[in-house]
Structures are given as C-alpha cells and as structure tokens.
A and B are shown apart, each in its own frame.
Chain A
C-alpha cells in the first residue's frame, strides 16, 4: 500500500526542490481537474515503502478566496492524504507558521520540513527545532533542500507519521472565541453527514470566519438553522471575524516563537541589493538593461545553434529527396515532413535560451523586484505589476506568456493580461521583420524591426487602457499590488535547467505539433494539383490550391498593398508565424528551405512590397491573430469562447486599421 503524501508550503520556500528530491526528479505534470492550476505528482520507494507524492499549490493560507487555496484545501480534506509535509522556511519562521496553524485546524497529519536552515544560520537565527516540535506536537525535520541534507530523515519521519495516529493539540483563540467555537461545533456535530466527512472543529472555525465554501456546505445541512444561529454570536467580537481569527493565530505563534527562535537578523546582502535595485531612479533602468541582456542572449547566442539545426535538416532533406524514387513521396518527406520538423526545431534554441535567462532571473529572486519596480508604471497603464512577467515572456513566445498570467490573482486583471499578450512581438515574428525589412527597408531595416517591438508595446498599453475604459467587465483599477520579495539566492545549475526544461517542453509539445502539422498542410496545398504546379523543372505555385486561396483572399488585402502572395503568407501565419518566411519561399518556387537572402532578392525583383507596404505587412504580422496554438492556449486559460473569439476579432480589426494607417500616412508623406 502506498503512502499518500501531500507537499505544501508558502511560495519561495523551496517546495519544488524538495518535491524533486522526494520524487527523484521524475514527475507527472498535469492540471487539477477542471482548473488551470498545475498539479505535479511523483513517487519513490524508501526502505521498502512506496510513497506517492502530490505537490499542492504554494500558498500563504487556506481560505476560500483563491483557486490555489481551494485546490490545496479540498485535496487535504477530501482525499485525506496519509501525511502532509508542511515546508517551512527557517529564515522566515513566524509567517510560515501561519499556514501550519491552518493545517493544524484541518487536523492534517503534519510533518514539518524546516527548510533553508543554512540560510537561517547565515542570517543569524538559532532555531530549537526540537522545542518547536514539542510545542506543536508535530515532527520537525531540519533540511537544506539544495544540498539534499535532511532528505532521508524527512522520509523516515513521513513513514513514521503515516504509521502512528498523531496526537493533536488544540490551539486556543482566546476564551470568548474558544467558547463560541465549541458552541458552533456542538451544533455541527448534530449533523452526522457533515461531521463524519469534515473535521467538525475546522468547520466551526470556518463558519465563524464567513468562509464561502464552508457556508455553502452548511446551507445544505439538516441542522443549518441551528448552526447559523449559534454562529450569529460572532457579532460579539465586534470586529471582522476573519481578521480576528488571523490575529489570534499570530498570537499563538508569538507565544511559541520566543521559546524556539533566538537571534537577530543582521542586515543581509539581500537588503543591500534592494537598496540599489529598488531605488527610484535606478530600478527601472536596471530592469531595462537586464531585459536587453536577456534578449541579446536569447537571440544572438542561440543563433548558431539554430543555424546548425537548419543546416542539418536541409542536408537530411536533400539526402532523402535523392534516395526516394517516387517524386511525390520524396517531396512529401523531404519538404513536408523533414522541412516541417526542421522549421519547428529551429525555434527551439531561442526558446530554451529565453527560459534559461528567465529561470535565472526568477530563481535569484530578481523577478519579484522587477515586478515591484514596474508596478508604478503598469498601474497607470491599467495593468497589474505582476502582469509584466507574462508580457516579458510573451516576447519569447506568446504561449508560455499567456500561461504565465496565472500568477496574476484577480481574474479581471488576468484576462486583460492574456488579451494583450499576443501584441508582444514573439520570437517567431522576428524572421518576418528581418525578411521584409531587409528586403525593402534598406538601411533602415534595423530601425524598422525595433519599431515593431515598440509598436507592439504601445498598442498593448493603448488596448489595456481602452478595454478598462470601455468594457464594463474591466472597469475599475487593477487590484492592489501585494507581493512578497524573497531573499536573493544563488540559482543552482540544476534548478535552472529543470525550469528551462519544464517550460520549454510545453512549447515543444503544444506549438511543435501544431506548427509541424501546419507545414504539412502548406506543403499539400502548395504541391497540388500536382500537374498544374510541377511544369517540367519549374514549380508554379500560382496554380496550386495555395495560389487559388491567395487570389480569393487578395481583394481583402489590396487596400493595404498586399497581393495574393502576401495573403497566402498571412493565411499560413495564422497556423504558425514561423511559417510565413517558408511560405514565401514556397511561393517563389524556391522551396520551403530557401535562405533569407534568396527570398529577399526575389521580393525586390518582383516588387512585391514597397517600403511602405512592407512596413504595413510587418505591422500586420505583428498584430493580427495569434497563431493557432496561442489561440488554443487562450481558450484553455480563459475557459471561455467569448474571450477567445474577442481576441481574434479585435486583433484582426486592429491589424487592418494600423496597416491601413501606415499605408495612408506613407502615401501622404510622399512615399508610394
């Protein structure tokens, strides 16, 4: 029989490291049913005992206020794990114990992992963990997760705890409140259904706290009236009950703390760093500088790796084409399959490099400071400070960007972040800027590319402000910024690579499959009807289904100056922006693997774009609908067709307007 163990703790306590230590790094990642909260499960076998480990969301408390807390609480109460490992940050003992008190109310079988003991030491604390264990009647195991110290002892404690029945202590909330709790509890005990399913004292406390979820359960109880009658007495407290209870829990902690914690926190390196990094003048410039470094790192250092992948797949394609006799099959495999795979994998290096950089920034603790520093600006723009991280990620790829919006607490703020995320120019659009910009903007190509990024940001800001004003759902200010800034810590190679892999593999799985399939579709549409397309040695795309499609769409785009070729490329950009360049290659008969230079030359020769229409095309690519994979993720994260369709529609409209404006203004200024 496997022991079911849940792992919980405040954010930033090292929960993932301990989870990885317990499960040997092999975890199954999914979602809690029906929710967008991530669920990680894993397992190990220790001293002959099978242990199943479930990672609960990091949280400060267990109220009914947020999905994370509800998921964690429901799991403990309904699935009744054999042991709950509460990870407590030793360098931050007082507040961490708040969650512990809530777990004690839930009557969970707790084992405390007192993590970051090394840090507590450094900072100047001395913790008597044995005394803590005695006072709470909970086993306490000191650990240093990053060096795996204490892991075996933790596993021992888990097995030990699973075996015996724990003797729990009852926390006192002050005489008045204790009496009140008993009264309500007595009423609850009368309802057998309720009291057999949930710990009755916990229910009583939650009823007094006006906990939404518990009150719903009580509504359905046979003894509803009696319970509610008893709880009305909370009025005698004269103050908001939830607040009073929080206060009393902290009181309990304050009584224990002096017996357990000695020493003063000296001014730490973290404090010093914050003086500079949060400095009013320096804070945002430092952030901008680091952001620039992240970009350079992502694109310039990964460049050769992308080239390597591109080269290898080209070679492979050539070899295969030569080896297969059947013309259509050869083309299918060489251009379609291998070309498709190559196109996807070429984007892997920048994505992974981006995530390495982001992991470094996040694990070191800097990202929280960045959110803090940009909040002042973001608030004025109608966005929450925490929205900036998803937007930053969106510059790499919109898919993880949209997913990262989960860190924003309030639903309205979160959805707004998701809606404007696609305006962040993702890395897949860059090749389009380079292609078109290089072809028709001449020396101003670099300026043109920069302007696309800036345009994206400006539009995102304008849209956020607009939506806040105009759409009733978003009316009002962003929710207040409340964020813990953890101590700075040195990121470990292992953790950084793990994070990089976790996030990057999502891109690989989701985007990869769709882009790959998209390329196959492009190939099919561009190669058939076979005879019309393959005339002798030449490939005439105009005769293919692709060409027909382009001509059908052309009228829509003519005011913008795009011809059927542009229309086709944009159509396929919907499937994946990465395909746009390849589409041009295919259209010009150069093959999907054509180099950028070749395509640019052809663009110039055939006068497909003028500088103005070229710029308009770049803008259109930036703004119009996000790729299919992103649309899919938006649906999943918002859980609503309404918002997904809204995003698609508003972006197409915006793209058209902006491109038209560019062409119009360009015409007025005299550039034809």
Chain B
C-alpha cells in the first residue's frame, strides 16, 4: 500500500536534451513547455495550473534571485526559483 507513497523524481517528455529551465528566460520571451521534473506534489500542482507539455508560456517578471512571474493558460502564476528551475521549455524562435 505504501509503495505508492515514494517520492520519486519523475521525468516525462520527449527528448531529455531539449529545453532550458523556465527560470532562465528573459522577460517578454515566449516559450513552449517540454517537461516538468520534480517530486509528485510539485509536478501535480504545476500540471493542474497548466504547465503541461505543449503549453505556451510567457515570461513576465524575472530578476535576480527572487520568484518569477509567468503567464500560462492566460493567468499569471508566481513561481519560486526552485519550481522555475524544474520546468523545461523551448523558446519560441528556436528549433
């Protein structure tokens, strides 16, 4: 019963070599989500907010070491650096 409770780092998505962490985008940049890494709780929460493969995101506010603000599924979500480093995206205009 408790085997379902293990906190495993899960990866999902096509190629694992694509994409940069969301945290590294500059404000104003648009990108597409490739994959999300992390413990089950975080991944679940990010998914339900719209950070799923193929979702379009736009970086709104990002500076220094504080949390970032992104637009996803037409709403504004604040993400701490920790979470932002776990969302991998492909910038628009890049192949």
Residues of A contacting B95 in the complex (Cβ-Cβ under 8 angstroms): none
B46 nearest CB neighbor, chain A only: A482
Residues of B contacting A485 in the complex (Cβ-Cβ under 8 angstroms): 69, 76-78
Option from A215, A280, A482 in Cβ contact (under 8 Å) with B4: A215
- B49, A484: Cβ atoms under 8 Å? yes
Residues of A contacting B50 in the complex (Cβ-Cβ under 8 angstroms): 94-95, 98, 250
A667 on interface, CB distance cutoff 8 Å? no
Interface of A: prevailing SS: helix
60-101 of chain A: CB within 8 A of chain B? 60-61, 63, 65, 91-95, 98
Q: How far is the CB of A381 from chain B (nearest CB, A)?
A: 14
Complex interface bits, A165-197 against B, C-beta within 8 A gives 1, otherwise 0: 000000000000000000000000000000000
B31 on interface, CB distance cutoff 8 Å? no
- A280, B64: Cβ atoms under 8 Å? yes
Determine the distance from Cα of A212 to Cα of B50 in the docked complex, in whole angstroms.
Answer: 22
30-46 of chain B: CB within 8 A of chain A? 36, 40-46
- A210, B10: Cβ atoms under 8 Å? no
Residues of B contacting A274 in the complex (Cβ-Cβ under 8 angstroms): 60-61, 69, 76
Q: How far is the CB of A228 from chain B (nearest CB, A)?
A: 11
Q: How far is the CB of A255 from chain B (nearest CB, A)?
A: 13
- A265, B49: Cβ atoms under 8 Å? no
**When A250-B50, A278-B61, A484-B49 are in contact, do A212 and B77 touch as well, CB less than 8 Å?**
no
User: Which stretch of A239-247, A311-319, A333-341, A524-532 is in the interface?
Assistant: A239-247
Option from B5, B43, B63 in Cβ contact (under 8 Å) with A243: B43
Determine the distance from Cα of A372 to Cα of B78 in the docked complex, in whole angstroms.
Answer: 7
A385 on interface, CB distance cutoff 8 Å? yes
Q: How far is the CB of B67 from chain A (nearest CB, A)?
A: 5
Complex interface bits, A383-408 against B, C-beta within 8 A gives 1, otherwise 0: 00100000000000000000000000
Residues of A contacting B69 in the complex (Cβ-Cβ under 8 angstroms): 274, 278, 372, 485
Q: How far is the CB of A386 from chain B (nearest CB, A)?
A: 10
- B52, A246: Cβ atoms under 8 Å? yes
**When A60-B49, A210-B4 are in contact, do A243 and B36 touch as well, CB less than 8 Å?**
yes
**When A243-B47, A250-B52, A274-B60 are in contact, do A484 and B74 touch as well, CB less than 8 Å?**
no
B80 nearest CB neighbor, chain A only: A481
Residues of B contacting A63 in the complex (Cβ-Cβ under 8 angstroms): 44, 48
Interface size class of A (residues with CB under 8 A): 35 or more
Q: How far is the CB of B59 from chain A (nearest CB, A)?
A: 12
- B73, A247: Cβ atoms under 8 Å? no
Q: How far is the CB of A349 from chain B (nearest CB, A)?
A: 34
Option from B41, B43, B67 in Cβ contact (under 8 Å) with A481: B67
B53 on interface, CB distance cutoff 8 Å? yes
Option from A244, A385, A483 in Cβ contact (under 8 Å) with B12: A244
- A95, B80: Cβ atoms under 8 Å? no
A284 nearest CB neighbor, chain B only: B66
B2 nearest CB neighbor, chain A only: A212
A35 on interface, CB distance cutoff 8 Å? no
A271 nearest CB neighbor, chain B only: B60
A219 on interface, CB distance cutoff 8 Å? yes
A376 on interface, CB distance cutoff 8 Å? yes
- B66, A376: Cβ atoms under 8 Å? yes
A494 on interface, CB distance cutoff 8 Å? no
- B48, A246: Cβ atoms under 8 Å? yes
101-140 of chain A: CB within 8 A of chain B? none
A285 on interface, CB distance cutoff 8 Å? no
Residues of B contacting A250 in the complex (Cβ-Cβ under 8 angstroms): 50, 52, 55, 73
Complex interface bits, B73-93 against A, C-beta within 8 A gives 1, otherwise 0: 111111110110000000000
Q: How many residues of B contact A (CB 8 A)?
A: 41
Determine the distance from Cα of A36 to Cα of B45 in the docked complex, in whole angstroms.
Answer: 21
Q: How far is the CB of A59 from chain B (nearest CB, A)?
A: 9
- B79, A481: Cβ atoms under 8 Å? yes
A379 on interface, CB distance cutoff 8 Å? yes
Residues of A contacting B10 in the complex (Cβ-Cβ under 8 angstroms): 240, 243
Residues of A contacting B65 in the complex (Cβ-Cβ under 8 angstroms): 376
A28 on interface, CB distance cutoff 8 Å? no
**Among B43, B52, B77, which residue has the most Cβ atoms of chain A within 10 A?**
B52
Q: How far is the CB of A141 from chain B (nearest CB, A)?
A: 21
Residues of A contacting B76 in the complex (Cβ-Cβ under 8 angstroms): 270, 274, 484-487
A380 nearest CB neighbor, chain B only: B65
Q: How far is the CB of A72 from chain B (nearest CB, A)?
A: 13
- A240, B48: Cβ atoms under 8 Å? no
A490 on interface, CB distance cutoff 8 Å? no
- A385, B67: Cβ atoms under 8 Å? yes
Q: How far is the CB of A294 from chain B (nearest CB, A)?
A: 22
Option from B4, B72, B78, B80 in Cβ contact (under 8 Å) with A212: B4
Option from A61, A477, A483, A486 in Cβ contact (under 8 Å) with B82: A477
**Among B44, B53, B64, B82, which residue has the most Cβ atoms of chain A within 10 A?**
B44
Residues of B contacting A275 in the complex (Cβ-Cβ under 8 angstroms): 61
Option from B42, B73, B79 in Cβ contact (under 8 Å) with A95: B73
**When A280-B64, A481-B67, A482-B45 are in contact, do A375 and B4 touch as well, CB less than 8 Å?**
no
Q: How far is the CB of B60 from chain A (nearest CB, A)?
A: 7
- B75, A92: Cβ atoms under 8 Å? yes
- A483, B13: Cβ atoms under 8 Å? no
**Among B12, B48, B67, B78, which residue has the most Cβ atoms of chain A within 10 A?**
B48
Q: How far is the CB of A380 from chain B (nearest CB, A)?
A: 9
Residues of B contacting A483 in the complex (Cβ-Cβ under 8 angstroms): 77-78
Determine the distance from Cα of A483 to Cα of B5 in the docked complex, in whole angstroms.
Answer: 25
A377 nearest CB neighbor, chain B only: B66
Q: How far is the CB of A400 from chain B (nearest CB, A)?
A: 24
Can you report 6 A-B residue pairs in the complex whose CB atoms are below 8 A from each other? A61-B48, A242-B47, A243-B36, A250-B52, A372-B69, A481-B82
Q: Closest 4 CB pairs between A and B?
A: A481-B80, A376-B66, A239-B12, A246-B47
Given A240-B10, A375-B80, A376-B66, list of 13 further CB < 8 A pairs? A63-B48, A65-B40, A92-B74, A239-B12, A243-B10, A274-B76, A278-B69, A280-B66, A375-B78, A479-B41, A481-B79, A482-B45, A486-B76
